[in-house]
Amino acid sequence: MITGDDGVEWCFTGLYGESHTGRKEETWRLLRTLNVERHTAWVCIGNFNEILCNEEKKGEFHVPKLAWIVLEMLLMCVA
């Protein structure tokens, strides 16, 4: 928790997402848990190790199902 000069409290999370496909859900579960517990502004920065859209990928055009879960989670955090 960080308190700015103006007295506003906010939270910072640095994240390096799980790179192993079978364990990626653990990263998103952790972020969802952190999101539920926060009651202040939240900044989350890091490497999520996930492709969210086909434009980020070279080669075969395919966004895995897990990427849609990640995108939904990110949209939930913005709301």
Six token digits for residue 31:
């972020």
* pLDDT at position 6: 92
**Residue position matching structure tokens 């952790």:** 30
The chain-wide mean pLDDT, for the chain, equals 75
Question: Which of 36 and 66 is assigned the larger pLDDT?
Answer: 36
* pLDDT at position 28: 79
| Domain range for 37 | 2-78
What integer is the mean pLDDT of 8-35?
Answer: 82
Our count of domains for the chain comes to: 1
The strands making up 9-16's β-sheet, listed across from edge to edge, are 2-3, 9-16, 41-47
3-state secondary structure of 44: strand
Six token digits for residue 46:
């890091």
Please check the confidence at residue 61 and state whether its pLDDT lies above 60: no
**Residue position matching structure tokens 């199902």:** 65
CA distance 12 to 19: 22
What integer is the mean pLDDT of 13-31?
Answer: 81
